Structure 1
Amino acid sequence: MLADKRILLIIGGGIAAYKSLALIRLLKRAGAAVTPVLTRAGAEFVTPLSVSALAGEKVYDALFDLTDEAEMGHIQLSRVADLIVVAPATADLLAKMVQGRADDLASTLLLATDTRVLVAPAMNVRMWQHPATQRNIAQARADGVQVVGPDEGEMACGEYGPGRMAEPEVIMQAISSELGSGPLAGKHVLVTSGPTHEPIDPVRYIANRSSGAQGTAIAVALRDLGAKVTFVTGPASVPAPAGVAVVRVETAAEMLAAVEAAFPADAAVMAAAVADWRVANASGSKLKKDGSGLAPALEFAENPDILTRVSQGALRPALVVGFAAETDHVAEYAAAKRLRKGCDWIVANDVSPATGIMGGSENAVTLITAAGSEVWPRMAKDAVARELAARIAAALRA
């Protein structure tokens, strides 16, 4: 997938540096050339010999090495790559990158380049959550740096939380996406996510309990397979993913307009939980109690059916995937919805309160197609997203 691509891999200091060895293997297997740069701290965890042996190239580790400067100066080294990958990206490396500091080879390379940069953060959970690190990562994203991870899990120090470096396979997917490779390279996929908010008055609205987590995970998985993703999101409780075109909306009408503006697309994944109704007589001022004990009379109107519009519209994508969140007769209702709406697939799930799926970190879905239904085991929403993205890639290839 990465034939003729050159990756400049900067290995920072941290226990996660051992994963960089597996990443080098994956990059080489995909056909990429890997130029490794090892920081002084990184060399405390992996040896230059092991890195060089796997990469098949010299390891660069000193800014003031006369031989290296004569053969390939650090300025040239920073610009011959198609992508610079920092894995692990420590809190110190991130800070240097954002502040423009250049006091060693790695930080100098990052400052002296106009090549795209992808970082895989790895650090203690408290370091990751510290306001300084969060400011730095936000600024890095604003500067155009792509960020993959970190994952949540047990740390080498014994603590638990976000801060683990993403797995090499996930970093590989992000690299493929960044370099325009992967099974969905050249494809445009529209993803809708999150709830919509339908105003009652300026301070109240009708909504549902969707967090947007599943739609966000799907956008990430599609991006990591190389797709160009347009992500239309309502007011979700999870942050929008990096590396995709984000369009923020509030109401169903705004979501419909954003969806139509995003066409043409090769596929559409309609994961948003759109409110079925809106208040037709929404007030322009806050509704007040009048002492009568009577609630205000609200008149409801049906919202536009976005999934039907997409499935039956003139600019219909080759593949349209709808979602059905049900509490009863899940597969039966979802199968009927697929036929009624005209979409190709329906991803159905049981959102009864006892399942904990609505707003939770896991999902248990049934994929319904013209060929029948397939029950997937309960798994993390990220895993559901990766499986669905792989199915979409296979369908578009076919």
Structure 2
Amino acid sequence: MTPDLFGRHRAVLPDWLALYYEDPLEITHGEGRHVWDAAGNKYLDFFGGILTTMTAHALPEVAKAVGEQAGRILHSSTLYLNRPMVELAERVACLSGIPDARVFFTTSGTEANDTALLLATAYRRSNTILAMRNSYHGRSFSAVGVTGNRGWSPTSLSPLQTLYVHGGVRTRGPYAHLDDREFTDACVDDLKDLLGHTRAPAALIAEPVQGVGGFTSPPDGLYAAFREVLHERDILWIADEVQTGWGRTGEHFWGWQAHGQNGPPDIVTFAKGIGNGMSVGGVVARAEIMNCLDSNSISTFGGTQVTMAAGLANLAYLLEHDLQGNARRVGGLLLERLRAVAARVPHVREVRGRGLMIGVELTRPGTEEAAPEAASAVLEEARAGGLLIGKGGGHDTSALRIAPPMSLTVAEAEEGAAILERALRSV
């Protein structure tokens, strides 16, 4: 990136607006699973604009749909009938698994989660929310208030009373030594004990796989066990699928389906990948919950025609080309390849994930102590080798986040794994 642009960025944008790399990168264009910077360097993209470029960069089907819609009308607000919005809502409602579903579109995952919290608290007449430790749900005032990751929660002030539950991180914490069944039982007992000390919460909000938290997840079935406890007390379950939805985990179309033995969540939020770069988020809920608000509301930019056209084209491509199956197959190969690499690198504590959502946690060799400086060094080395990845984890950000577009090929997975191996060995 040119120093001039970096200086201009720092002069007019907030100090807390994070940039990757010591020499920040300006991405100018992309194609498929690759992007190019302002200097003409080519990179294999294993982060997809934070899991947002879900299918591919410059996907012709999406570009064509956006261009054609832009040539007709870009925007009219929700005050008018909107055919692309209705069509995408119909598809999402059908895919959600929620009976009698209603869909409300927003412009981001943060706004989607904010809306879900509004619906839950209004429906249950309670401002108490259960959330998971190490979680992340966005940067709005209410979303920050239910974020359990210290590094992304800048204030303790909140319109909500939030109580944090065990279970989102399988291999750390007081129950890490237990087997999966014992771990789940202990977390359920903890939840029951917590509920015995508070007034009835409105909802539990949880990511099936914690994104910013470093792609951590509980044993399959934990949220199903939670659901039994919640259902007995009329507490809603909100599944934050902003990063896990649309088949990215490979095994399931939605992350909650790994925990769906007792039926779907009451509310599902989504964003990121559905727009393939366009600003699309949304909430799906049962009609009685979605319709519980007793005042008028609109969305100026949620569901605007051009973003809905992109979402429809992108979703059609994903389903027609079975990108969920590709995430399962290619993601499984990549996961095993990285685990083989990790076995030879002392800094790597764990390689985890499913589908094309993989976390590599780094620690100081021979200890359980996080190594954020090692994560930063690997990020830099990977870029030097032509690979873009992300970071995450608890407040120490010592996990590498790997989430390529879901059309990733086997050859590209091998190429990326080889670059990452060299970067890990360099540390």
What TM-score range do you get, normalising by the shorter chain? under 0.3
Higher relative contact order (CA 8 A, sep 6+): 2
TM-score w.r.t. structure 1 length? 0.27
Which structure shows the higher strand fraction?
A: 1
Which structure shows the higher helix fraction?
A: 2
Which protein shows a greater Rg?
1
TM-score w.r.t. structure 2 length? 0.26
